[in-house]
Structure 1
Amino acid sequence: MKIYFTILALLIVQLITAQNTEPIQADRPDQTETPALVPKGMFQVEAGFTFQKNDELSNTNTLPTVLWKYGVNDNFELRLITEYVYEKVLDEKQDGLLPVYVGFKAKLAEEKGIVPKTSIIAHIGLPSAASAKYKNEFYAPEFRFVMQHTLSEKMSLSYNLGAEWDGFSAEPTFLYTLTTGYSISEKLGSYIELFGFAPQNNKANHSFDGGITYLINNNFMLDLSSGIGITDNAPDHYVALGFSFRI
Structure 2
Amino acid sequence: MLRPLVATALTVLSLSACATMGKRDALISDRPDFTEATALVDRGHVQVEAGSTLSRESEARVVSHGEVLMRAGLSSRLELRVAGNSFVQEQVDGLTQSGVQDASVGVKMRLLDAPEGRSWRPALSVIAHSTVPTGARIYRSQRVQPEVKVLTAWSLTDRLGFSSNLNVGRPFDGVRSFTEYAGSGSLGFAATDRIGLYAEAFAFAPQDGSKVVSKYVNSGFTFLFSPDVQLDVRGGIGPHSTQRRDYFAGVGLVVRR
**Contact persistence 1:52–1:235 (CA under 8 A):** no
Report the equivalent of 2:126.
Answer: 120
Q: TM-score, normalised by structure 2?
A: 0.84
5+ residue gaps in structure 2? 1-22
Match of 2:162, as an amino acid? L
Q: Deviations over 1:73-99 (max 9, x none)?
A: 110000011222111111111111111
Instruction: Give the deviation of 1:192 after TM superposition.
Output: 0.2
For residues 230 and 58 of structure 1, what CA distance do their matches in structure 2 show? 14
Q: TM-score, normalised by structure 1?
A: 0.87
Give the alignment of 1:142-181 within 5 angstroms: 142-167=147-172, 168=174, 169-181=176-188
Give the alignment of 1:165-244 within 5 angstroms: 165-167=170-172, 168=174, 169-200=176-207, 201-202=209-210, 203-230=212-239, 232=241, 236-244=246-254
Instruction: Give the deviation of 1:70 after TM superposition.
Output: 0.4
Report the equivalent of 1:5.
Answer: none
- Given the superposition, is the C-alpha separation of residues 235 and 158 from structure 1 closer, same or farther in structure 2, using an over 3 Å criterion? farther
Q: Which moved more, 1:205-214 or 1:80-89?
A: 80-89
Give the alignment of 1:31-70 within 5 angstroms: 31-55=34-58, 57-70=59-72
Instruction: Give the deviation of 1:104 after TM superposition.
Output: 0.6
After the TM superposition, which parts of structure 1 deviate over 6 Å for at least 4 consecutive aligned residues? none
Give the alignment of 1:23-38 within 5 angstroms: 23-38=26-41
**Contact persistence 1:143–1:163 (CA under 8 A):** yes
**Contact persistence 1:88–1:94 (CA under 8 A):** yes
Q: Which moved more, 1:82-91 or 1:152-161?
A: 82-91
Q: Deviations over 1:33-56 (max 9, x none)?
A: 00000011001100010000113x
What is the total number of aligned residue pairs between the two structures? 226
Residue in structure 2 matching 1:106, options 104, 109, 119: 109
Instruction: Give the deviation of 1:165 after TM superposition.
Output: 2.0
Match of 1:106, as an amino acid? M
Q: Deviations over 1:123-177 (max 9, x none)?
A: 11112x1112222111110111111000000000000001222234221111001
Q: Deviations over 1:173-212 (max 9, x none)?
A: 1100101000000000000000010001221110100000
Instruction: Give the deviation of 1:231 after TM superposition.
Output: 5.2
Q: Which moved more, 1:85-94 or 1:175-184?
A: 85-94
Report the equivalent of 2:7.
Answer: none
Instruction: Give the deviation of 1:59 after TM superposition.
Output: 1.1
For residues 214 and 226 of structure 2, what CA distance do their matches in structure 1 show? 37
- Given the superposition, is the C-alpha separation of residues 62 and 206 from structure 1 closer, same or farther in structure 2, using an over 3 Å criterion? same
For residues 214 and 235 of structure 1, what CA distance do their matches in structure 2 show? 29
**Contact persistence 2:57–2:241 (CA under 8 A):** no
User: Identity over the aligned pairs, expressed in percent?
Assistant: 28
1:182 match: secondary structure:
strand
5+ residue gaps in structure 1? 1-19
2:138 match: secondary structure:
helix
1:35 match: secondary structure:
coil
1:101 match: secondary structure:
strand
